[in-house]
Amino acid sequence: MTETEQQSVVVQKYGGSSVSTAQKIRAIARKICERAQSGVGLVVTVSAMGDTTDELIDLANAVTGPDLSPSPRETDTLLSTGELVSSTLMAMAIHSFGLDAVSLSGQQAGIRTNAVHGSARIAAIDTERLNRELGSGKVVIVAGFQGLGDTGDVTTLGRGASDTTAVALAVALSAEQCEIYTDVDGIYTTDPRIVPRARKLKEIGYEEMLEMASLGAKMNPRSIELAAVYGVPVLVASTFDDVPGTLIHRGEPTMELRRAVTGIAIDKNVVKIIVRGVEDRPGVAGGLLRPLADAGISVDVIVQNTSDDGTTDFTFTVGDADAQRALDLVRQQQAVKFRDATHGGELAKVSIVGTGMQNGPGYAATMFSSLAEAGVNIDMITTSEIRITCIVRRDDVPAAANALHDAFELDRAD
Ligand code: ASP
Ligand code: MG
C-alpha cells in the first residue's frame, strides 16, 4: 500500500467479562475475522479474562501479608500479565480461523507512560511497530491497561483502563472509530438494574458521557476525555448481541442531545471524609489534599463550611477503594492542623446530566423536590454546568434514581 492509500483503521476493545472463557475468546475471534475480511485494519485491545486482575491483586496481598502493601512496581508487572494471557489467547484463536494476527504487550505496542505505578498516564504511542504489523496484513491484538514507564518498567494505567488503551490507540493511529464491546449493549439513561424503565441512547455527546462515566456509567472517564480531546467517535456496543449500540461523539445537537436532561448517573462507591476543627487560613485545602493528589487519589465533592470560631470543617468524598488510604494520608500530613478526621457511612452520588440544563433554571428545584417526595434526604450537593449531583445514603439510590427518571421523563423516546 502506498502512503496515499492509507488503510482505514478501526480499534476495538473487549472487556474482561467478554473474554472470560476460551469459548468466548473463540467467538470474538470469529467476529474479528469476519470484520477483518472487509479490508479494514483492525487493532484489538483486550482486558484480562474475567476477574483475573482482582485475583492477581488478592495474590499480591496474600504473599505480602496484612501489615504491608505490595510493591507498586511488582504489582504492575504482575497485573500486566492478565492482559498478556487474554491477548495471546486471542491471537491464537484468530490463527485457528486461518487469519494472521499478532499480540503485542503495551511495551511492544509502543505505549509510553509516566512512572506512576498503578495509575500511569500515557505520554505517547510510538506507532512504528503497530503500523508495520498492520501493513503486513495482520490483526494486531494489544494487551490493554499497560505500558512502559519512563523508568523502563512496566506500568498499568489504573483499574478499568483498557478503554483508555483503546482510545489512545485510536488517536495514535487516526482510526475511524473506537469500538468498545462489553456486556452491556450501550449507554442507558441510567442503570437499568436500578431503574427498569431506563432506555438505551442512540448517541450522546462527549461532555455528557464524561459526566455519566465519571459518575458510574460503565466506561472509564479517562478514555472519554481522551476521545473528546481528539474527537474520536466511540461506539459502545454488546460483544455478543447484534443490536445497535450508543455512539459517543461530538455530534450535532439533535436527538437525545437536545433534551435538557440526558441521563441519571449513579455512583454507589462514595465515602465521605470529614476533617473537623481545621484551622482556617489560606493553604488549608491545598495542604490537606496535596498528599492525596500525589498518591493518585481523586477527590470529588469538596465542601468547606464557613468558620465561626477560627476553625472550619472540611468534607470531601473519595471512592470506596481509596477511603482508608485517603484518611491515613490526611492524618499523616503535617501541613495543616485539625481536631479529628473520620470517614462517614456508605454514600452514593445521584446526578442528573445534560447539556440542555445550561440554559434553563428550575432543574435543580425539580430534582430536589422529587427527591423530597421520594423521601430521600440529601447529604451534599454539587453542580457543574451540565450536571447536578446529590450525595445520598446508598440505600436510597433506587428510590432516588426512579423518582428522577420519572420526573425528567427519561423513558420517553425522542
Ligand atoms: N484488567 C484491568 C482491570 O480489571 C483493566 C480493564 O479491565 O480494563 O482493571
Ligand atoms: Mg477487568
Q: Which domains does the chain have, with CATH numbers?
A: 7-183 (3.40.1160.10), 264-407 (3.30.2130.10)
Instruction: Please enumerate in sequence order all residues whose Cβ is within 8 A of that of 223, keeping only pairs 6 or more positions apart, or say none.
Output: 161, 163, 164, 166, 167, 180, 213, 234
Q: Is 160 in the pocket of ligand 1 (CB under 6 A)?
A: yes
> What is the chain's percent helix, strand, coil content, to nearest 5?
35, 25, 35
d(CA 44, CA 104): 10
pLDDT at 330: 95
Q: Percentage of the chain with pLDDT > 70?
A: 94
d(CA 237, CA 244): 7
Q: Residue 230: which of 98, 72, 132, 122 has the closest Cα?
A: 122
Write down the mean pLDDT value for the chain.
92
Which residue's C-alpha comes closest to atom 7 of ligand 1? 160
Sign of CA dihedral 270, 276, 281, 283: negative
Sign of CA dihedral 217, 219, 220, 224: negative
pLDDT at 300: 87
53 Cα: distance to centroid of ligand 1 (angstroms):
6
Say if residues 350 and 264 touch (Cβ distance below 8 Å). yes
pLDDT at 1 over 50: no
Atom of ligand 1 nearest to the CA of 51: 4
Tell me the CA distances in angstroms from 408 to 71, 201, 383, 404, one per residue in order: 48, 15, 17, 6
pLDDT, one tens digit per residue, over 310-358 is 889 999 999 999 999 999 999 999 999 999 999 988 999 999 999 888 7
pLDDT at 385: 85
199 Cα: distance to centroid of ligand 1 (angstroms):
27
pTM higher than 0.85 for the full model? no
pLDDT, one tens digit per residue, over 199-256 is 999 989 998 898 887 655 567 888 999 999 999 999 999 999 989 999 999 865 555 5
Q: Residue 375: which of 398, 393, 399 has the closest Cα?
A: 399
Name the band, by pLDDT with cuts 50, 70 and 90, for residue 361. confident
157 Cα: distance to centroid of ligand 1 (angstroms):
9
Lowest mean pLDDT among 43-47, 55-59, 250-254: 250-254
d(CA 111, CA 149): 9
Say if residues 32 and 92 touch (Cβ distance below 8 Å). no
Query: How many of the other CB atoms lie within 10 Å of CB of 98?
Result: 7
